[in-house]
């Protein structure tokens, strides 16, 4: 390989490595400055070498191949897809996701402003819009949005209750640009943004209401390959029965599809015993179970106990896991997945009244879409996520999912209770701090208490509208200014 070829290949290789290294900024490592430093390195490479779209694409491909590699586990190790096809599918998935940050960087490099101003103004706004689009188009996949790395300890997380994860990501992108440019005005403004974030972290955006409620979050640790086997059903029901009856909490939570058969197939004495135990504690039990209503099937949660029986039906379904996108039935046929097409539950379902609280329930993947959860506020006092991350084995996915919950806690100003089949089962307070958690891949119950909250954060009131409006206004003003500054002819 001659020197010219090496010189040509080195920038994209470095960009790819920067993207991959940035993944260490997310859970379980929580090195929150690292993704910002990695992005600053990318901007430096673009300024030196040009080729903005290509270098940014290499960077994003490295980030997604490293950060969502757990998709391979769900398709090959759990789903049984042949390894070459599963690897190819992960590569194509990452290649699609990489288009969004690459487009943001590519457009920023061509924005009609002087170099310093385009990176400090247009780039953060374009980054925000690109991440929002990635989280919206084709049902959306906002995993590894830049802002998540800031939860819960990064100073920029102070902006989460105001602008949400996309706004936090835009401020992180601004910081990266300031570091890459190394000019005092930008660095001074970035420092001011971080100091203001520290101040915002101290504000009580919502207020406690009522007394804390005792909770037990059950983790059955049922291996995914065994979960839906008929011969394993009796053992699964016995595991959750034993864990539930040992609890003295007012609120007992079981994970997503903890009972892996349709509700009307569960033996009535089993449900009656769980309900009687919950009533004896003066509270309720909340359990994930598939629901059959005529020709329609739902991934659902039901309550048993003191309060009248209530149901939540999952709304935002997982492509290829809970429904098959048009034209992809052949792809799903390559995997041995026992779930077929679920129906979507109605939007804006009210919180469930249980154990003296109002529970805003969401199932697994739904907590990735923060704005879709806001309809339950301010009525909800607690947020509840029931999940089954056994699909992804011992990978980064369960830890990243926990960090997403931490960001949601900051955005909503509510405690979050996570009951997960194999983990990570956790209690997260309104400041995004993990108060208690179970080790993953263990069978047990997490006992603790949770404090209900009332009130609305600015983000809960506005959703993503405020951040998108700020980005749109920034792009409109800078675009108009750049066109005015461009010399005639």
Q: What is the pLDDT of residues 96-108, one digit of tens each?
A: 999 999 999 999 9
452 & 477 share domain: no
- One domain for residues 340 and 479: no
Alpha carbon distance, N-terminus to C-terminus of the chain: 44
Residues 199 and 235 in one domain: no
Question: What's the burial of 487, exposed, middle or buried (CB within 10 Å: 0-12/13-18/19+)?
Answer: exposed
* pTM: predicted TM-score of the whole model, two decimal places: 0.94
| CATH number reported for the structural domain that contains residue 318 in this entry | 3.60.110.10
Q: Please check whether residues 214 and 200 belong to one and the same domain.
A: no
Distance of alpha carbon 284 from alpha carbon 277, whole angstroms: 9
- Torsion, CA 39, CA 468, CA 378, CA 204, rounded to 10: 50
Q: From CA 408, how far away is CA 430, in angstroms rounded?
A: 9
Q: Are residues 242 and 130 in the same domain?
A: no
Q: Which of 40, 62, 51 is nearest to 11 (CA)?
A: 51
The answer to whether residues 449 and 480 belong to one domain is no
Same domain, 114 and 62: yes
Contacts for 20 with CB less than 8 Å, ≥ 6 apart: 62, 63, 65, 66
Contacts of 356 (CB under 8 A, 6+ apart): 210, 213, 250, 283
Q: Catalytic residues, which ones?
A: 256, 314, 364
Given this model, what pLDDT does residue 327 score? 58
Q: 49 vs 7, 8, 103, 109, 266, CA distance in Å?
A: 10, 9, 17, 12, 63
Contact of 241 with 220, CB cutoff 8 Å: no
Q: CA-CA distance, 170 to 423, in Å (whole number)?
A: 31
User: Which residue ranges in the chain fall short of pLDDT 50?
Assistant: 338-339, 489
Residue bearing tokens 């203001």: 196
- Counting the structural domains of the chain, the total is 2
Identify whether the C-beta of residue 155 lies closer than 8 Å to the C-beta of residue 197: yes
Instruction: Name the strands in the sheet holding 352-354, side by side, starting at the edge strand that comes first in the sequence.
Output: 352-354, 357-363, 382-387, 416-420, 426-428, 434-437
Burial grade of 138 (CB within 10 A; 0-12, 13-18, 19 or more): exposed
If asked whether residues 231 and 377 sit together in one domain, one would say yes
Q: Which residue range forms the structural domain that includes residue 305?
A: 207-456
Q: How buried is residue 263: exposed, middle or buried, by Cβ count under 10 Å (0-12/13-18/19+)?
A: middle
Does 122 share its domain with 64?
A: yes
Q: Label each residue of 347-410 as H, E or C.
A: CCCCCEEECCEEEEEEEHHHHHCHHHHHHHCCCCCEEEEEECHHHHCCCCHHHHHHHHHHHHHH
363 and 257 in a common domain: yes
Do 176 and 286 lie in one domain? The reply is no
46 contacts 111 by C-beta, under 8 angstroms: no
Q: How many CB atoms sit inside 10 A of residue 114's CB? A: 10
Same domain (yes/no): 158, 286:
no
């Amino acid at each position: 390989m001659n020197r010219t070829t090496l010189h040509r290949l080195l920038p994209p290789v470095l960009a790819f490595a920067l993207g991959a290294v940035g993944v260490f900024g997310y859970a379980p490592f929580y090195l929150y400055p690292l993704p910002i430093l990695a992005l600053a390195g990318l901007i430096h490479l673009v300024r030196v070498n040009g080729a903005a779209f290509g270098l940014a694409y290499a960077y994003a491909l490295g980030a997604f191949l490293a950060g969502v590699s757990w998709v391979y586990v769900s398709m090959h190790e759990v789903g049984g897809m042949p390894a070459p096809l599963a690897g190819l599918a992960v590569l194509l998935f990452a290649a699609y996701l990489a288009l969004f940050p690459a487009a943001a960087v590519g457009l920023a490099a061509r924005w009609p402003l002087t170099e310093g101003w385009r990176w400090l103004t247009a780039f953060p706004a374009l980054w925000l819009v690109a991440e929002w689009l990635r989280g919206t188009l084709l049902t959306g996949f906002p995993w590894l949005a830049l802002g998540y790395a800031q939860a819960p300890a990064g100073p920029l997380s102070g902006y989460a209750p105001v602008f949400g994860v996309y706004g936090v990501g835009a401020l992180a992108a601004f910081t990266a640009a300031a570091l890459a440019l190394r000019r005092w005005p930008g660095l001074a403004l970035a420092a001011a943004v971080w100091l203001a974030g520290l101040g915002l972290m101290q504000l009580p955006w919502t207020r406690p209401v009522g007394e804390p409620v005792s909770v037990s979050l059950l983790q059955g640790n049922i291996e995914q390959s065994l979960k839906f086997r008929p011969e394993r059903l009796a053992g699964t029901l016995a595991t959750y029965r034993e864990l539930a009856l040992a609890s003295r909490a007012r609120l007992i939570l079981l994970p997503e599809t903890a009972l892996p058969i349709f509700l009307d197939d569960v033996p009535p004495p089993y449900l009656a015993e769980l309900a009687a135990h919950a009533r004896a504690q003066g509270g309720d039990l909340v359990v994930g179970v598939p629901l059959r209503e005529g020709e329609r099937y739902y991934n659902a949660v039901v309550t048993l106990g003191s309060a009248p029986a209530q149901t939540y039906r999952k709304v935002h379904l997982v492509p290829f896991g809970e429904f098959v996108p048009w034209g992809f039935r052949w792809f799903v046929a390559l995997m041995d997945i026992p779930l077929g097409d679920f129906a979507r539950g109605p939007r804006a379902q009210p919180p469930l009244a249980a154990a003296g609280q109002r529970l805003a329930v969401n199932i697994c993947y739904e907590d990735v879409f923060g704005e879709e959860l806001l309809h339950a506020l301010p009525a909800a006092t607690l947020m509840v996520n029931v999940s089954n991350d056994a699909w992804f084995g011992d990978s980064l996915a369960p830890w990243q999912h926990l960090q997403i919950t931490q960001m949601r806690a900051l955005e909503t100003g509510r405690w979050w209770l996570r009951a997960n089949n194999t983990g990570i089962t956790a209690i997260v307070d309104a400041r995004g701090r993990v108060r208690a958690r179970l080790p993953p891949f263990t069978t047990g119950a997490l006992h603790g208490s949770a404090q209900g909250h009332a009130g609305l954060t600015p983000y809960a009131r506005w959703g993503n509208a405020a951040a998108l409006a700020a980005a749109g206004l920034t792009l409109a003003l800078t675009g108009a200014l750049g066109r005015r500054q461009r010399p005639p002819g």
